[in-house]
Homo-oligomer: A and B are copies of this chain.
Amino acid sequence: MGRTSSARERLLDSACDLIHERGYAAIGVAEICARADVRKGSFYHFFESKQALTAEAVDQHWAQRRAVWTAELSGPDPALARLERLVRAQASAQADGKRAHGRVRGCLFGNLATEVTPADGDLGARVAAVFAEQTDLVASALADAVAEGAVPADLDVAPTARAVLAHLEGMVLFARLADDPGVLDGLWAQTRLLIRAR
């Protein structure tokens, strides 16, 4: 019975890896199955389509990443220290990814966001929901920073949180293109400017 659940897990992990490497449109069910060592006939036992698998892969990847995000943003430290931990964790994740996979792979959600179209059903909405959750997490930390007086009281937290994530996504895109995690070295210093940290 472990066999069944593990084939499903392997399909999800393979899709996640392949989309990270080459995007959504570039990969097919046959390739996902080959990487997962699952017979193609079994694929449709688990998932209706590549799109359905990808939607679950997005949810699974965010469940894993969300645990990191909430851990970095939690604790007794001042809000800006927690936000700094989160931002530095994003840079570290790209460096770790390069060590593990040989290349800076960028952001699964950002990679999908540039590819999805209305023809991909609710996939765009799933990715948008992840960014909305990320925005809420950052906005919550920024609200704490306002309460602590670490950023100006008139900071518009929701649009500022979105700008922080936009800057992060753009920098990760440049790091992917250059295949160089060092591109992310200035991430926190620049984020401090966007949030008007004192």
Contact = CB atoms under 8 A, between A and B. Distances in A.
Contacts of A110: 114, 170, 173
B21 A23 contact: no
Contact of A173 (B24, B113, B171, B183): B113
Contacts of A119: 22
Contacts of A115: 22-23, 25-26, 111, 114-115
Interface stretch (A59-67, A138-146, A160-168): A160-168
- Number of this chain's copies in the assembly equals 2
Contacts of A162: 171, 174, 183
Interface string A122-146: 0010011001000000000000000
A30 B104 CA distance: 32
Interface of A: 21-26, 103, 106, 110-111, 113-119, 124, 127-128, 131, 159-160, 162-163, 165-171, 173-174, 176-178, 183, 186, 190, 193-194, 196
6 contacts: A24-B25, A26-B115, A110-B170, A114-B176, A163-B186, A170-B171
